[in-house]
Amino acid sequence: MKTVIALFGTLLLTTSCGVFSSLNSNTSIKPKESFVLGNNKHGSFKTYLKNEGVTILKVYQAPIDGGTYSPFLLKPQETATVNTEKNTALIIENTGDEYASVTLKVKGDLNLGMGYNN
């Protein structure tokens, strides 16, 4: 019985640590505004996105020293995975006239600044 308890404790600890190695969020974005993830110095990260809303989202990357690249449109109920390099922000722009909702699952460097731009 002690072996089972010790094994269970190890599995529980491993599972709990796994929870802290990722960021999970359902984020709302006002019409014609953007959510910015990683607009600070950080390492690389990977983001799974799902457009849960009814508006089209424009997703692109922006190095913190300027410029943008890799734009794409994410239609309602579509999913995508984006690998973002160090010191680069992931921008999720609500192109519609209604609130947007996006599920985010982020792995990698989680020391990411977050905010909104209008």
- The residue with tokens 């519609």 is 96
Considering only CA atoms, which of 64, 110, 103 is closest in space to residue 81? Answer: 103
Tens digits of per-residue pLDDT, 99-109? Answer: 999 999 999 99
* Residue 114 pLDDT grade (very low, low, confident, very high; cuts 50, 70, 90): very high
**Domains detected in the chain:** 23-117 (2.60.120.380)
Tens digits of per-residue pLDDT, 40-73? Answer: 999 999 999 999 999 999 999 999 999 999 999 9
Q: Examine the pLDDT at 25 and tell me if it is beyond 60.
A: yes
